[in-house]
């Protein structure tokens, strides 16, 4: 007998977006409030894990065709490049600048956000690589 997952799947469709937007909030809040790349990445991964639980691996893998092992590499590359990118003036350092945007007003743009983006990608890739490779039948 096939179990009926209608309620779980319907709730997941809504909730996963809430979780993902919370993850985005945490990621951008990290500079001034609690949050940052690591927790943002974990929350993103938890949204994806919820999708994998409510549906099945093949459906979600077709819907979100990401190779999570490569995602780890991309994340590491992003973080490394933000560090090396500033080496031209002999400081391996982060910098920031205040930029006026037409709609949002003055916003602080910092290169540490790019570094954290690399952390997010690495954490998501690492977590899902672990979970998906454990779940696979050998």
Among 77, 99, 107, 109, binds another protein (CB under 8 A): 77
Which is nearer to another protein, 3 or 138 (by Cβ)? Answer: 138
Reading phi first (left if > 0) and then psi (alpha if -120 to 50, else beta), residue 35 is in left
Rounded to a whole number of angstroms, the minimum distance from the CB of residue 111 to another protein is 12
The SS3 call for residue 108 is strand
- Count interface residues toward another protein (CB under 8 A): 14
- Check binding of 58 to another protein (CB under 8 A): no
Reading phi first (left if > 0) and then psi (alpha if -120 to 50, else beta), residue 105 is in left
Instruction: Determine the Cα–Cα distance for residues 26 and 114; give it in Å rounded to an integer.
Output: 15
Rounded to a whole number of angstroms, the minimum distance from the CB of residue 133 to another protein is 12
- Check binding of 72 to another protein (CB under 8 A): yes
Among the residue ranges 25-33, 48-56, 88-96, 98-106, the one whose residues contact another protein (CB under 8 A): 88-96
Instruction: Determine the Cα–Cα distance for residues 50 and 64; give it in Å rounded to an integer.
Output: 13
Q: Would you give the distance in Å from CA 5 to the centre of its chain?
A: 27
Q: Where do contacts with another protein occur on this chain (CB under 8 A)?
A: 69-70, 72-73, 76-77, 80, 84, 87, 90-94
């Amino acid at each position: 007998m096939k179990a009926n997952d209608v309620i779980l799947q319907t709730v997941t469709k809504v909730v996963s977006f809430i979780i993902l937007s919370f993850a985005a909030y945490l990621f951008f809040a990290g500079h001034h409030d609690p949050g940052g790349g690591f927790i943002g990445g974990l929350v993103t991964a938890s949204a994806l894990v919820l999708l994998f639980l409510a549906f099945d691996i093949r459906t979600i893998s077709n819907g979100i065709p990401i190779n999570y092992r490569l995602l780890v590499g991309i994340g590491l590359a992003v973080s490394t490049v933000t560090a090396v990118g500033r080496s031209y003036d002999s400081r391996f350092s982060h910098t920031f600048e205040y930029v006026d945007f037409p709609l949002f007003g003055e916003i602080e743009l910092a290169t540490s956000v790019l570094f954290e983006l690399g952390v997010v990608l690495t954490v998501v890739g690492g977590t899902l690589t672990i979970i998906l490779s454990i779940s696979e039948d050998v």
